[in-house]
Amino acid sequence: MKKIIAVASCPAGIAHTYLAAESLEKAGKKCGYLVKVETEGAGGTSNKLTKEDITEAVAVIVAADTNVPVERFRGKPVLFISTGDAIRSAAKCIQLIEDGKVDIY
Amino acid sequence: MKRRSSFYRDVMSGVSHFIPFIVAGGMLISFAFLFDASNAGTATFGATNAFSAWLLNIGGIAMGLMLPILAGYIAFSIADRPGLLAGMLAGMLAKNGGSGFLGAIAGGFAAGYIIKLLKTATKGLPLSFEGAKTLIIFPVLGVLLTGLVMIGVNFVVVPINTVLNSLLQNLNEGSAVVLGAVIGAMLAFDMGGPVNKVAYLFAVASLTGNAGITVPSIAMGAAGCSGMTISTSCFLATILFPKKFSQQLKDSGKAALIMGLSYIGEGAIPFAIEHPKEVIPSIMTGAAVAGGLSGFLKLTLTAPIGGVFTLPLTSNVLLYLLCFVIGTLVSTFMMGTMLKEYVEEENLDEES
C-alpha cells in the first residue's frame, strides 16, 4: 500500500490537530493510501514520523497553524495547508497528491 | 487551500505554548480569591489566610511566566533554538516595562529576527567558530541587541496600551454592546481558530493597564462570558433536542459541557462539522448576545481566561452568569429550531 505521511498541529493542541489527523487518515484510506499522521498537540508529539516513514512516503501533508519542523521533508512533495483545510477538504488534498500537483519542497 | 502566513504561524507557536501558563495561573489565582471570599473588599483579599496566600503566590508565578513564554516561543518559531533566550528576555522586558501583551508579541518578533540576522551575519565564519557562535555570540549579542530594541518597543507600545485602556473604560453603553457582541461572534465563528484567537488576544491585551499592572477589562468580561456559551450550548442542545443529533454527537455533547465551562470553544467543532449551516449561526448569535449583554452591563473580568474557574475575578458573578445562561439558551434554541430530525444513515458501503 502506498504511504502518505502528515503532520498536524494547531494553536491550542486539543481539538483541531486531532480532527485534522482523523480526517486525513479517513480520506487516505478511501483512496487506498496508508496515512500516518504525526500530531503535535498540547500533550507533546505523538505518532512521531521515523526516517523510514519519510523515505517510504510518496508525499507529505503539513496541516499546521503553528510552525512545525519541516526540514526533514526536504526533497519530498510537500503540501502545506491549515488544520481547517485538512478537516474540511482532506479528499481534495489526496486528489492533489494523486494528480502530482504538489511541489517538491 | 493555502498555507497560513508565517506571521500567523509564529504568533500561534507562541500562543500554543503560553496557554497552559494562563490556564494554571488564572485558575489558581481565582481559587485563592475563592478560599478568601469572606474577606472580599479588604486590602488583603486573596491572601488573608495562609492557604490563599500560597495559591496566590504559585498562581502568580505561573501567570508571571506567560509573557516570557509567549515572546520566547515566537522567537523560537522564527530563529529556532537560539531564539528562545532573546525572546524570553524580550517578554520579561515587556512585562517589567509595562508594554504587556502587545509588547511581548512585538518583542518576540524583534528577538527572533535579531537572532536570524546574527545567524546570517556569522555564516562566513569558519567551522571552528561553531561552538563560539551558539555559546557566546547568539546569547550575548542577542540579549544585548534585544534589550536595546525593547527600549524602543516599550516606548512605543506603552502609550498604545494607555489609549486602548482609556477607550475601553470610557465606552458608552451602545459601543460596549457592539464591542461585546463582536467579540462574542468572533470567538464563536471558528471555535478556537484564527478569528477566535484575534478576538481573544485583543481582549487579553486590554488587561494591561498603565505601568503593566493587570486591570479589569470589559472586553475580557465579554470574551470570558460569551466564550463559555459556545460548547455549553451544544451540550444543552443534545439534552433538550436529543432527536436531532446522532449518538456520536450526543457523546461529544458530554465533553462539550466540560469544555464549555472551562472556556474551550473547541467542544463545538464536532457539531459544526456535522451541521455547519445550523450550528455556526446559532453559536455565533448566542455568543454575541452574551457578549453584548455583558458589555451593556459593563461586566469586567481580571483574568486572561474565562470559564467557571475565574468567576471570582468578575465584577458581578450573578449578572455574569445570567449573561452566560441567556446566551447559551439563545444558541441552544436556535439549534433546536433550525436542525431537522436526525435520521440514521443507511450504510451503503457495506451493502454492495
Residues B123 and B269 in one domain: no
CA distance to B5, B99, B145, B148, per residue, from B154 (Å)? 26, 5, 14, 10
Share of chain B above pLDDT 90, in %: 48
Looking at the structure of chain B, the number of domains it has is 2
pLDDT for the residue B113: 96
Q: Does B30 map to a domain?
A: yes
Q: What is the mean pLDDT of residues B228-257?
A: 92
Mean pLDDT of chain B: 88
**Is the same domain home to B270 and B290?**
yes
Q: Which of B148, B168, B188 is the last residue of a domain?
A: B168
Shortest CA distance from A87: residue in chain B: B273
The stretch A67-95 carries a mean pLDDT of 90
Instruction: Report the C-alpha gap between B323 and B261 in whole angstroms.
Output: 14
Among residues B176, B217, B214, which one has the least CA distance to residue B200?
Answer: B217
- Catalytic residue from among A4, A6, A8, A10: A10
**Is A39 in a helix, a strand, or coil?**
strand
Which residues are registered as beta bridge partners of B53?
A: none
Cα B14 to Cα B66: distance, rounded to the nearest angstrom: 10
- Structural domain contains residue B182: yes
Asked if residue B138 and residue B19 are part of one domain, the reply reads yes
Best CA proximity match to B261, nearest among B212, B200, B306, B201: B306
Please report residues of A whose CB lies closer than 8 A to that of B194. 65
Gap between the Cα atoms of B217 and B73, Å rounded: 26
Q: Specify whether the CB–CB gap between B281 and B202 falls below 8 A.
A: no
Long-range contacts of B271-278 (CB under 8 A, 24+ apart): B271/B234, B271/B237, B271/B245, B272/B191, B273/A19, B273/A87, B273/A88, B274/B246, B274/B249, B275/B339, B277/B338, B278/B334, B278/B335, B278/B338, B278/B339
Bridging pattern class, strands A59-64 and A2-9: parallel
Sheet with A78-81: strands ordered across: A44-46, A33-41, A2-9, A59-64, A78-81
User: Is residue B348 domain-resident?
Assistant: no
Q: Do B12 and A42 touch (CB under 8 A)?
A: no
The total of other beta-carbon atoms located within 10 Å of residue A48's CB is 12
Same domain membership, residue B105 and residue B11? yes
Given pLDDT bands bounded at 50, 70 and 90, which one contains residue B12? confident
Final residue of a domain: which of B168, B197, B214?
B168
Close Cβ partners of B103 (under 8 Å, ≥ 6 residues apart): B93, B94, B97, B150, B153, B154, B157, B158, B161
Tell me B311's DSSP state: G
Residue of B nearest to A12 (CA): B16
Same domain, B141 and B179: no
- Stretch B147-161: mean pLDDT: 92
Q: CA nearest B169: which of B298, B288, B297?
A: B298
Of the candidates B1, B15, B197, which has its C-beta nearest A81's C-beta? B1
Distance of CA B205 to the CA centre of its chain: 10
Which of chain A's residues have a Cβ under 8 Å away from the Cβ of B9? 64-67
**How far apart, in whole angstroms, are the C-alpha atoms of residue B277 and residue B84?**
43
The residue assigned the cell 459593563 is B298
Q: Which of A30, A62, A67, A82 to mutate to test the interface with B (most CBs of B within 10 A)?
A: A67
Eight-class DSSP state of A76? S
Query: Which residue of A65, A71, A89, A102 is the best one to mutate when testing the B interface, meaning the one whose CB has the most B CBs within 10 A?
Result: A65
Predicted confidence at residue B210, as pLDDT, reads 67
Q: Are residues B162 and B28 in the same domain?
A: yes
What is the pLDDT at residue B334? Answer: 95
Same domain, B224 and B152: no
Average pLDDT over residues B43-71: 88
- Which domains occur in chain A, in start order? 2-98 (3.40.50.2300)
- Greater model confidence, A62 or B306: A62
Give per-residue pLDDT as tens, B168-188: 777 787 889 999 999 999 999
- Alpha-carbon distance of B49 to B300, in angstroms, equals 26
In this prediction, residue B143 has a pLDDT band, given cuts at 50, 70 and 90, of very high
Whether residue B78 sits in one domain with residue B150: yes
Q: What is the pLDDT of residue B207?
A: 83
A17-53 pLDDT, tens digit each? 888 999 999 999 999 999 999 999 888 889 999 999 9
Q: Does the residue B347 lie in any domain?
A: no
At residue B181, the pLDDT reads: 95
B104 and B204, same domain (yes or no): no
Whether residue B104 is found in the same domain as residue B180: no
Query: Do the Cβ atoms of B1 and A15 come within 8 Å?
Result: no
Whether residue B178 sits in one domain with residue B68: no
Domain span at residue B188 reads 173-338
Identify the pLDDT of residue B41: 67
Residue A13 is nearest to which of B2, B6, B16, comparing CB atoms? B16
Contacts of A13 in chain B (CB under 8 A): 16
Q: What is the pLDDT of residue B350?
A: 43
Residue at B343 is within a domain? no
Residue B352 is predicted with a pLDDT of 37
Q: What is the mean pLDDT of residues B157-166?
A: 83
* Residue that finishes a domain, picked among B101, B134, B168: B168
Q: Which of B93-102, B131-140, B236-245 has the highest mean pLDDT?
A: B236-245
pLDDT at B345: 57
When CB atoms are compared, the residue of B2, B10, B194 closest to A67 is: B10
d(CA A31, CA A101): 16
| B246-276: pLDDT as tens digits | 888 888 898 899 889 988 888 898 898 889 8
Q: For the segment A51-78, what is each residue's pLDDT rounded down to a tens digit?
A: 999 999 999 999 998 888 898 999 999 9
Nearest chain A Cα to B255, which residue?
A15
Residue B31 confidence class, pLDDT cut points 50, 70, 90:
confident
Nearest CB to B269; choose among A15, A85, A93: A15
A10 is catalytic: yes
Structure pTM? 0.77
Q: Are residues B200 and B274 in the same domain?
A: yes
Contact A12 B16 (CB under 8 A): yes
Interface of B with A in 246-305 (CB under 8 A): 264, 266-267, 269-270, 273
Does the residue B1 lie in any domain? no
Is the pLDDT confidence value at B106 over 80? yes
Using CB atoms, pick whichever of A16, A67, A89 lies closest to residue B192.
Answer: A16
User: What integer is the mean pLDDT of B194-198?
Assistant: 81
Q: Do B269 and A81 touch (CB under 8 A)?
A: no
Q: Per the domain annotation, does B250 fall within a domain?
A: yes
